[in-house]
Structure 1
Amino acid sequence: MIEDLWLIGIGTGSPAHVTLEGMQALRDAAVILLPLKGEDKDALAALRYGILEAAETTAEIRTFEYPQRDPALPYAERVSAWHDEIARRWAAALGLEKPSGPVALLVWGDPSLYDSTIRIAARLDPHPRLRVVPGITAIQALTAAHAIPLNTVGGTVRITTGRQLRNTGFPQDEETLVVMLDGECSFRGLDPEGLQIWWGAYLGSEAQVLRSGPLAEVAEDIAATRAEARARHGWIMDTYLLRRRGHRRAASAP
């Protein structure tokens, strides 16, 4: 049983992306749950252990194997069943004995943005007291790495996923699109005319790689770079920003 559950945003894997509040929370936690994720588990676990070492925490570390989604199920049902199983594995890793203090989870990026850890925590019974410590998002790391603003003056921004981009394309009424969770380089399915892209992987780390330019000119280079980097490291986490060049919102009539 978990009485206090702390979800701590850890940015994109660099200890420098963890806030001072996050570092203190890691030091104050009694138990830290650490996921092991399939073929990538050694590299990703090493990043998390590096953050814990930087925090100088004395918390007990308990690991659990991350489950796989069932591809035979419809998408919504697949995700729901996956979340149920993750919550079950959290509980199993802790056992029946109540922890002596707060239990912490290291959440990639920020727990509030395209992450389901908060939703998974709601499946625990009884519900724990939840504390969320914000972290650096992949979006912040991307725009900082490219030294660009997220929005244009008076412009709109939409944050979406690769799945949505493939299904709906680039919305005509939007100026800036941030795409996350895209393992299929869905930007290659867009009409590249007038689109600029800023892409980055392993943001904030020594392995960081960046590409930018007109989509028509750099799309295939980004796809090839992504494939090569994933093969070399065994895993990849990346995101990108698309913007219409020269787009201006229509001014209202006086």
Structure 2
Amino acid sequence: MIGIGAGDPDHLTLQAAKAIGRTDVFFLLDKGETKASLIDLRERIIRAYSKPSKRIVEGRDPDRDRNPADYTGTVADWRHRRSLVLEELITEYLKDDQNGSILVWGDPSLYDSTIAILEEILERGAIEFEFDVIPGISSVSALAAKHRIGLNRVGQPIQITTGRRLAEGWPDGVDDVVVMLDAQQAFTRHPEAQIYWGAYVSTEDELLAAGTVAEVGDEIVTTRTEARERHGWIMDTYLLRRPPATDR
């Protein structure tokens, strides 16, 4: 399992490049025509660093409801169906003496399901394999670099969460919150906070904005809506930083 960074091919680490060079079979899950660019980048990276004899095997990524009543149950079902697709591909295309790789956006440890999916496959016991995880540059670290900021203030904690959780209220005990997967655009509820926002970070389509939510919130909402319509998908991340309690 290879973290390939947030979208810039130069994010690839030497460790990741070496692992790609050892790979016999690459497994890609196709998310459909609207997200073809996600597959294209992976294939560019594979061509640049893999051996000539490698194979690329694609499976169809199962669809899921993006606004379900039962979010946890829906995600669990989606992961299960993904595991069945991947298990079938591994069984059919990977020989006992070969190395297979899955290229993961950003870093596999942060809001990605691939580790859990491989563990579910192993728990079923139909096939056996060992796997390693190679870290990558996350969208969070890429966002901070693009805005030239640190994620935390001196001696203070940060929390990484989702838009769904932020919509329920600002987390206790922190003034700096990194938010991912925010279809609700929950930042609009905090006009006093400073926001450092980015979409498609480190790709050719990169969009950035910074300021207080009161100043740039409407602009971000409009930009985000237009970009999603244009591309058919969006991946954005932001740091929301509110004044210390003594200043509020």
Residue 45 (structure 2) aligns with: 51
Whole-Å separation in 2 of the counterparts to 1:156 and 1:196? 16
Where do 5+ consecutive residues of structure 2 fail to align? none
Q: Is residue 91 of structure 1 aligned with residue 90 of structure 2?
A: no
Give, in whole Å, the separation in 2 of the partners of 1:10 and 1:182. 22
CA distance in 1, matches of 2:238, 2:106: 15
Kindly indicate whether residue 180 of structure 2 is the aligned counterpart of residue 180 of structure 1.
yes
- Residue matched to 2:203: 205
The structure richer in strand per residue is 1
Q: 1:72 to 1:245 in 2, by over 3 A?
A: closer
How many residues align structurally?
A: 240
SS in 1 for 2:102: strand
Secondary structure of residue in 2 paired with 1:236: coil
Cα distance change, pair 57–204 in 1 and its aligned pair in 2 (3 A) = farther
Distance 1:68 1:97, change over 3 A: closer
Residues 197 and 67 of structure 1, relative CA distance in 2, 3 Å threshold: same
The answer as to 2:123 corresponding to 1:122 is no
Q: Which residue of 1 aligns with 2:24?
A: 30
**Matched residue SS, 1:231:** helix
Give the aligned partner of residue 217 of structure 1: 215
* Structure in which a larger fraction of residues adopt helix: 2
CA contact (8 A) 1:14 1:51 kept: no
- Pairing of 1:43-192 with structure 2 (within 5 A): 43-58=37-52, 59-70=54-65, 74-96=70-92, 98-99=94-95, 100-124=97-121, 125=125, 126-167=127-168, 169-188=169-188, 190-192=189-191
User: 1:240 — aligned with what?
Assistant: 238
Letter in 2 for 1:191: H
Answer yes or no: is the 8 Å Cα contact 1:62–1:94 preserved in 2. Answer: no
**Secondary structure of 1:123's aligned partner:** helix
Q: Moved runs in structure 1, 4+ residues, more than 6 A? A: none
Task: Describe the SS at the equivalent of 2:131.
Answer: strand
Deviation at 1:37, TM superposition (A): 0.3
CA distance in 2, matches of 1:201, 1:50: 21
For the Cα contact (< 8 Å) 1:34–1:62, is it kept in 2? yes
Q: Which amino acid aligns with 1:54?
A: A
Contact 2:152 2:158 in 1 (8 A): yes
| Distance of 1:107 and 1:15 partners within structure 2 | 13
- Show CA shifts across 1:46-91 (max 9, x none): 1211221222443210001100125667222211111111111012
Q: In structure 2, do the counterparts of structure 1 residues 53 and 76 end up closer, same or farther at CA, with 3 Å as the change threshold?
A: same
- CA offsets, 1:201-220, max 9 Å, x none? 11112221100001111111
RMSD between aligned residues = 1.9
> In percent, how many aligned pairs have the same letter?
43
Relative to structure 1, is the Cα distance of residues 49 and 247 closer, same or farther in structure 2, using a 3 angstrom cutoff? farther
Q: Quick one: structure 1 residues 243 and 66, their matched pair in 2 at CA, closer, same or farther if it must change by over 3 Å?
A: same
Deviation at 1:135, TM superposition (A): 0.1
Letter in 2 for 1:89: V
Unpaired runs of 5+ residues, structure 1, are 1-6, 250-254
Counterpart CA distance in 2 for 1:103 and 1:37 is 20
Q: What is the TM-score with the length of structure 1 in the denominator?
A: 0.88
TM (norm. structure 2) is: 0.90
Determine the C-alpha separation between the residues in 2 that align with 1:215 and 1:136. 27
Answer with 110-119 or 92-101: which moved more.
Answer: 92-101
